[in-house]
A and B are shown apart, each in its own frame.
Chain A
């Protein structure tokens, strides 16, 4: 008698999908994973809890949230700090600004220049994000502004581990901003 019900085999298949996404984008939180997998965060938590129990994935606390990695994923604490910053859209946006300016030969950027380049932020909020990036050793503060501490490493982590957003994601983001 076959004890594998369709739902059981579907669950196993979905667990493999979860592991693939975590392997592809290590350090994603539950919310980002749920978006990548097109499933509610609540439903996804069932699978991540099961995979954590089975030891196929592990998590690291990042403030209130957990970030997921596959078993055996080796990353030092410094790279982990950078990765956790890449998983936060406001911090990622600032890092991308630094990387883009670096291509133009500009290494040091001031608060005001970042405020001008970001879409909607107050000066206080930008300072808060910049301080977070300094605390995580992504940026360092200089006399004339801020610069990336290890630009090559940050660049490689961004290229390797940042999910690219599809047209669908852009549509969702655009319209959800419009809703109250």
Chain B
């Protein structure tokens, strides 16, 4: 069995990667004003928060494992809703094809 610190480090790295994608997503939204990209950004933001919370909780033993699993599942659900939403949302505001004559 590996010490818990290995898990914490990997989960923390996942949090950092999620933060990077969240930042890229935000810059993409600023460039395009496409609300769907903002939703994807929010999903990566939730992943960042979830992994940071999990890493911290495991390291400092803040939350019991069973409860931690519940929080993780809820945050996964929220993140996936943010990812699914833009699939079905039409982009009316910045549809360049409709704007170019």
Binding site for B on A (CB under 8 A): 29-31, 34-35, 38, 40-42, 45, 65, 167-168, 171-172, 175-176, 178-180
Contacts and interface: CB of A to CB of B under 8 A. Distances in A.
A180 B87 contact: yes
Given A175-B40, A179-B91, A31 B100 contact: yes
Interface of B: 21, 24-25, 27-28, 30-34, 36-37, 40, 86-89, 91, 94, 96-97, 99-100
Nearest to B24: A171
Which one of A31, A171, A178 has the highest number of Cβ atoms from chain B below 10 Å of its Cβ?
A171
A147 B38 CA distance: 43
Nearest to B86: A179
Contacts of A168: 24, 27-28, 31
A167 B96 contact: no
A41 B25 CA distance: 21
Contacts of B34: 172, 176
Contacts of B100: 29-31, 41, 65
Contacts, number: 51
B interface, by DSSP: helix, strand, loop or mixed? helix
Contacts of B97: 31
Contact of B99 (A35, A40, A172): A40
A178 B32 contact: no
B94 to A, nearest CB: 6
A65 B27 CA distance: 28
Contact of A171 (B28, B86, B96): B28
